[in-house]
Structure 1
Amino acid sequence: MATLDIKDLHVSVTTEDGDKEILKGVDLTIREGETHAIMGPNGSGKSTLAYSIAGHPKYTVTGGSVTLDGPDGRADVLAMSVDERARAGLFLAMQYPVEVPGVSVANFLRTAKTAIDGEAPKLRTWVKDVNSAMEQLKMDPAFSQRSVNEGFSGGEKKRHEIMQLELLDPLVAILDETDSGLDIDALKIVSEGVNRFKAEGDKGVLLITHYTRILRYITPDFVHVFVDGKVAEQGGPELAEELEASGYDRFVKASA
């Protein structure tokens, strides 16, 4: 049973004025089959949590633990390199996907799949899987020959992230504001991709968002309100509806 377990996580980042603590004791457990939505105002630490789990070097973990239970047993995520975390079954869809000029989408995806699985996918099956994913995400077949994210629209970048999610097939997907910059059509397409991933039943999803609109298409099991680097409150889908109606004010005031 896949479980991502975050306990008392403290994370700092170095600024011109010295080290600044961003996460101040985060506790969160994501089990297979569960979708957790994290919502909160700007600067509350939502993206810091995502990048810390993924192993971004900008962020320094000063306390706590992150473990991943998977088919091969329990793994200490914080002791792993970034590529080891990916092979263990963690996936991060970035809020701002980076451009990789000169590397085609097709080569990037097959290289990533080979690195994660430890062997190259069978070409005939792989081509079929890639074409199927592109069709479901309403992407032009010529897209596979373009350089990764170079000249892509916001919607194309986010659909490419979901394409990676479907093809790399991780245990736990961390989606950092995957809905940002999307029009309604692209939002529906991206949400359908996440729901296909969820439908496998043995996957966990951590969805970070500012807005409730994506939660109309991806129903969370749990909603967590992030304020000042920690979880201020948690509940079910109804909590997202409360946030839509009244905002974050009462949580921000309570943490002040």
Structure 2
Amino acid sequence: MSTLVISDLHVDVLTEEGNKPILKGVNLTINPGEIHAIMGPNGSGKSTLAYAIAGHPKYVITSGSVTLDGVELTDLKVDERARAGLFLAMQYPVEVPGVSVANFLRTAKTAIDGQAPKVRTWVKDVESALNRMQLDSSFSARSVNEGFSGGEKKRHEITQLELLNPKAAILDETDSGLDIDALKVVSEGVNRYSAQGDRAVVLITHYTRILRYIEPTFVHVFVDGRIVDEGGKELAEKLEATGYEEYVKAAANA
């Protein structure tokens, strides 16, 4: 079972002018089988939350705790967090010239599991995962994210999610840059992962359109480094109609 618990998390971002506080006490528990959508305006700290949990060195946790199945992630290096079961799908996936998708996926799987997957079954697993994401088998020979379209990058991220099958997944604006067809394919991949019933998902997004295909267990509104409201899918529908203005004004006047 996979429970991700974020407790009173405070995070600074490193800038040329010094440390800048971004997260100001985030509390969130994602239980197995739950999908938590985090919504909010630009600059509210949503991506900071994702990168801080994953261990990006630019984001400094000044206090608080993040545990996955009781394991304190903040004490671990980035690769150790991944082996503990954490996965991050990045908003802007990085190009890795000269490293093929096939080699990248096999190396990642080996690092996570501590042993190399069996070649015969692994090749079939990769081909099946690519097919489900509507990516041609020749995609395996391409360099990671080099020359990929926005849709290909995001579908490749969900291919990784399916093959690595982590305990908890943080998906940072997975819907960004997707046309309607790619959005449906990506959403189906996330739903397959979540349908296992014992996986935790944090879905960060600006817009409600992806929530038409991925039904969240909870929706959280993120403003000024804090969760300021939460509810069910109806909250996302309210945000679609009214936007974030009332929350931004309330935070400014607090």
TM-score (norm 1): 0.97
Match of 1:12 in 2: 12
Q: Distance in 2 between matches of 1:3 and 1:155?
A: 30
Match of 1:253 in 2: 249
Q: Distance in 2 between matches of 1:97 and 1:59?
A: 18
Unaligned segments of structure 2, at least 5 residues: none
Listed one character per residue, the Cα deviations across residues 221-242 of structure 1 (whole Å, up to 9, x for unaligned) are 0000000000010111110000
Listed one character per residue, the Cα deviations across residues 78-116 of structure 1 (whole Å, up to 9, x for unaligned) are 000000000110000000000000000000000000000
Q: Distance in 2 between matches of 1:59 and 1:235?
A: 28
Corresponding letter in the other structure for 1:215: L
- Alignment of 1:161 onto 2:183: no
Residue from 84, 89, 109 that aligns with 1:88? 84
Match of 2:146 in 1: 150
Listed one character per residue, the Cα deviations across residues 52-80 of structure 1 (whole Å, up to 9, x for unaligned) are 000000010001111111xxxx2110000
Residue from 83, 101, 108 that aligns with 1:105? 101
- Alignment of 1:208 onto 2:200: no
Corresponding letter in the other structure for 1:111: T
Q: Distance in 2 between matches of 1:12 and 1:84?
A: 22
Q: CA deviation at 1:14?
A: 2.0
SS where residue 44 of structure 2 aligns?
A: coil
Match of 2:170 in 1: 174
Q: CA deviation at 1:17?
A: 2.5
> Where does structure 1 differ by over 6 angstroms across 4 or more consecutive aligned residues?
none
Please identify, of 183-192 and 7-16, the stretch whose mean Cα deviation from structure 2 is larger.
7-16
> Cα RMSD over matched residues?
0.6
Q: Distance in 2 between matches of 1:3 and 1:182?
A: 29
Corresponding letter in the other structure for 2:144: V
Q: Distance in 2 between matches of 1:240 and 1:111?
A: 38
Match of 2:226 in 1: 230
TM-score (norm 2): 0.98
Match of 1:48 in 2: 48
SS where residue 22 of structure 1 aligns?
A: strand
Match of 1:39 in 2: 39
Corresponding letter in the other structure for 2:235: L
Q: Distance in 2 between matches of 1:33 and 1:231?
A: 21
SS where residue 181 of structure 2 aligns?
A: helix
SS where residue 197 of structure 1 aligns?
A: helix
Corresponding letter in the other structure for 1:146: R
Report sequence identity in percent.
76
Match of 2:21 in 1: 21
Q: CA deviation at 1:123?
A: 1.0
Corresponding letter in the other structure for 1:13: V
Match of 1:128 in 2: 124
